A and B are shown apart, each in its own frame.
Chain A
Amino acid sequence: MADAKVIPFDDDRSRGGAGQRPQRRRSTGGRPGAVQPLPTRGDAHDEKPPAEDRAREAADALEQRVARGLAFLRRRLTGEYEVDDFGYDEELTDQVLMSLLRPVYEKYFRVEVKGIENIPAEGGALIVANHSGTLPLDGLMMQVAVHDRHPAGRHLRLLAADLVFVLPVVNELARKLGHTLACAEDAERLLGQGELVGVMPEGFKGIGKPFGERYKLQRFGRGGFVSTALRQGVPIVPCSIVGAEEIYPMIGNAKTLARLLGFPYFPLTPTFPWLGPLGAIPLPTKWTIQFGEPIPTDGYPPEAAEDPMLMFNLTDQVREQIQHTLYKLLVQRRSVFF
């Protein structure tokens, strides 16, 4: 009877149907059918005394967890895991890095996700979002949102600034999280593979803007993301993130210091750098991430990607949709922190 009483692993709870998960369970359990679908568990409860059951259940669950953790450790230590051409380490992302980001996402910023159904369940799509917050935490939170909330358990591949790949440690983690350089080649390759790609076309202009200009979308680059989406014929999903603007209210910019360090800006906030490392703790704002209606791009002729007029129109359309959603969400918001 012990077979049926397994509490699902924490990480798995939110995405039961993820592609390779059942396989891994089977291999770690050692017994076929160790993890039964939930309904059978309910049946078992009816027949057995519940107290004894629960104790056993807990012990079993712990055992399962330990076994799975050890199997994971074994794979990591012997190097027997796979990464893709971009250096994306799916296992490490799912098991470790996401578990580290999840508390920030759930407990600290208490992210509310809307319109997740607007992200297609399969095939390539380009998610275009606003960028803010001095440090690119908004991108990471968007990645957790897609990872945890999407019913098909999709993985978001973010396009990051070149600075990310110059910095030690950061570049390593970014590659393992599935990020890659924001350039047309990489974006097209990922979209061509049917991946979900996230981009923040405002770039440094958006993330490094002063607090006074919060929620005012900056220029969307040269609209390169639109031509990329057009060439691959994938839909563009506009995404609005509210809450990230206030995590580090940037009241000043130490330009000389920034130039010295080779950064695009050096933020001065009410707490940073005055309080030292303590000042680097973001304010616990309440976030909302809304994915909007997808904008299809497959109806255009192939030469459309070269048409600058169409490019600007589509860019504006995406930009306006994000801006309007931002205003709407701001009106609905009760307060910055709740």
Chain B
Amino acid sequence: MLVTGAARQLGGRFVRRVQRDPEVDRVIALDAVPPAHDLGGAEFIQADIRQPTVARVLAETGADTVVHMDVTGTALGGGSRATVKETNVIGTMQLLGACQKSPAVKRLVVKSSTNVYGSAPRDPAVFTETTPAKSLPSGGFAKDAVEVEGYVRGFARRRPDVAVCVLRFANILGPTPDTPLASYFALPVLPTVLGYDPRLQFVHEDDVIEVLRIASHEPRRGTLNSGTFNIAGDGVLLLSQVSRRLGRPTVPLLLPAVTWAGSLVRTLGMTDFSPEQIRLLTHGRVVDTGQMRDTLGFVPTYTTAETFADFARGQGPGLLPPETLAEAVDRVAVLTAGSGARVPQPGAN
């Protein structure tokens, strides 16, 4: 099994986890930079997937399963946006070219994102795998993901003998996240767009690893693991709920101001606060996970709310911790109830 993007947290975790599976006897981890974390018994090969060397690696190792996880929004170790785009698009093209040449490859798993649907007010409330996006992403990671999926579809046509699985992940969160959204939530005060309360969906890192495993092995009885699947935790959180649960106050700004501030921050090179990120935080996005349950046979262990709770535990307390607010309300309740006998029970739902 060949895993790209192994120098990242998520890639590293997947490499470590998949070694324990009896079906896997050899794991080759691939990345352009050496990983900072331990990869267990996996062989690490330092190769840039943008270069044709990846074909040689694939031919020499004779890998039968390729898990392509090097489709990401941010560069590892502060690369520019151009490098990220090249790794995503050119890297995928090189890798797919290599796969096409290699007769040993039987299975290809690609980590994509629900970003491919874009976010627009005129979209249906819930996206299924077949919903066409009303406004195709104009740039940034979302456009990369759309292009990557296009190449993968082309590959699937040319090599019908290879089982191709595209997993569109919702926003990935966990105790050790390194996504733009996670760094947004780490801000002391969350800038939001005035008059919009987007619906967000999260998927837990543990579930990501698990579903990648399901997709990279033989399908279980009664399930099918080739095709395109939305992967997200159950339920939806609004941005307002998210900020309250984190205990971070929000600063609603006018949409033009947010767009302008976003581009300013981008120019200064502080964070990758891309336009599609702003669109997500304006209009939100919810995907349907029926295919994931029925066809892929995967049931996530974490709901969106649980994923977020797990993430929030890893974050420091905000300026307005929910516990403090709850206590304050309880204190008022005690005062108004006179003798203090009728304090409302917390957590009614």
Residues of A within 8 A of B (CB): 23-24, 27-31, 63, 66-68, 70-71, 73-87, 89, 91, 162, 165-172, 175-176, 180-181, 183, 185-186, 189
Interface pair B122/A162, CB less than 8 Å apart: yes
Min CB gap A168→B, angstroms: 3
Contacts of B240 in A (CB 8 A): 79
Q: Which residue of A lies closest to B123 (CB)?
A: A181
* Residues in chain B near residue A166, CB distance under 8 A: 121-122
Q: Does B348 interact with chain A (Cβ within 8 Å)?
A: yes
Chain B residues within 8 Å of chain A by Cβ, number: 49
- In the complex, B251 has a CB within 8 A of chain A: no
Indicate if the CB atoms of B197 and A71 lie closer than 8 Å.
no
Decide: A74 near B330, CB < 8 A? Known: A27-B345, A28-B345, A172-B197. yes
Flag the segment in B83-91, B142-150, B183-191, B334-342 that touches A: B334-342
Task: Give Cα A270–Cα B343 distance, bound, in whole angstroms.
Answer: 54
A86 to B285 Cα, complex, angstroms = 10
Quick check: A78 and B236 within 8 Å, CB to CB? no
- Name the B residues within 8 Å of A84 (CB-CB): 236
Binding stretch for chain A, among B40-48, B55-63, B69-77, B124-132: B124-132
Q: Once bound together, how far apart are the Cα atoms of A168 and B198, in whole Å?
A: 11
Q: State whether B344 touches A70 (Cβ < 8 A).
A: yes
Which A residues lie within 8 Å of B241 (CB)? 79, 81, 83
What's the least CB distance linking A146 to chain B, in Å?
20
Contact of A79 among B193, B199, B242, B284 (CB under 8 A): B242
Given the interface pairs A27-B348, A63-B337, A171-B196, the reply to whether A162 lies near B325 with Cβ below 8 Å is no
Q: Report A250 CB to chain B, min CB distance, Å.
A: 26
- Residues in A with CB closer than 8 Å to B194 are 168-169
Across the interface, name the chain B residue whose C-beta is closest to A74. Answer: B329
Q: How far is the CA of A189 from the CA of B346 in the complex (A)?
A: 33
- 20 more contacts with CB within 8 A, not counting A80-B349, A84-B236, A181-B124, are A23-B348, A30-B345, A67-B333, A67-B336, A70-B332, A71-B344, A77-B329, A78-B245, A82-B349, A83-B241, A85-B126, A85-B235, A86-B125, A89-B238, A162-B121, A165-B121, A168-B255, A175-B197, A181-B123, A185-B125
Asked if B22 CB lies within 8 Å of chain A CBs, one says no
Q: Are B125 and A79 interface neighbours, CB within 8 A? A: no
Closest to B332 in A: A70
Q: What are 9 sample pairs from A and B whose C-beta atoms fall under 8 A apart?
A: A28-B348, A30-B345, A63-B337, A70-B344, A78-B322, A83-B238, A85-B286, A169-B194, A185-B128
Select one of A87, A162, A168, A169 contacting B199, CB under 8 A: A87
Q: Which of B226-260 contact A (CB under 8 A)?
A: 235-238, 240-245, 255
Give A7 Cβ to nearest chain B Cβ, in Å: 16
Which one of B123, B124, B193, B238 contacts A87 once the chains associate, using CB atoms below 8 Å? B238
